[in-house]
Amino acid sequence: MELTQQAFDAGSRHDIDAIMGFHVPDAVWDLSDLGLGTFDGAAAIRGFVEDWFATWRDLVLETQEIVDLGHGVVFVPVREEGRPTASGGHVEQQRGWVTLWAEGNITRIAIYFDTDEARAVAERLAEDRAQAGV
């Protein structure tokens, strides 16, 4: 759970090198629920993160809680807040993050609009991994 918080802290600082330091080279970010597609590998993830941060003046990622479900599965409801660079408006949004960890590194992240759905996905994934002995 500490590593998860450190990764989110790096995100709030927009420290892309630190963020990427938590990932294995072949990590995957699945943002298909958000309509943004899937990013395979460190280069694709880095490119997405750089582009995403460029759309914000002051994006902050705030973890509401960090739930370690075991077997490398972590569920995090995240509040994002900031001002888009293209407008003077202010945006707040809540998303559910499901993160898979292996040996201290992120192997996969999936982000969902609905935090309840994300929690359910994470719980099923942890159960499946437990049954598979992962």
Q: Which domains does the chain have, with CATH numbers?
A: 2-132 (3.10.450.50)
Residues 6+ apart with CB under 8 A from 22: 3, 6, 7, 10, 105, 106
Q: What is the pTM of this model?
A: 0.92
The count of other CB atoms within 10 Å of the CB of residue 122 is: 23
Smallest CA-to-CA distance from 121 within 99, 88, 106, 92 is with 99
**Does residue 86 surpass a pLDDT of 90?**
no
Condensed to tens digits (0 to 9), the pLDDT of residues 16-29 reads 999 999 999 999 99
pLDDT tens sequence across 108-124? 999 999 999 999 999 99
Q: What is the pLDDT of residues 46-72, one digit of tens each?
A: 999 999 999 998 888 999 999 999 999
- What is the rounded average pLDDT for all residues in the chain? 95
Residue corresponding to tokens 């990764």: 7
How far apart CA 89 and CA 68 sit, in angstroms, is 35
With cut-offs at 50, 70 and 90, classify the pLDDT of residue 31: very high
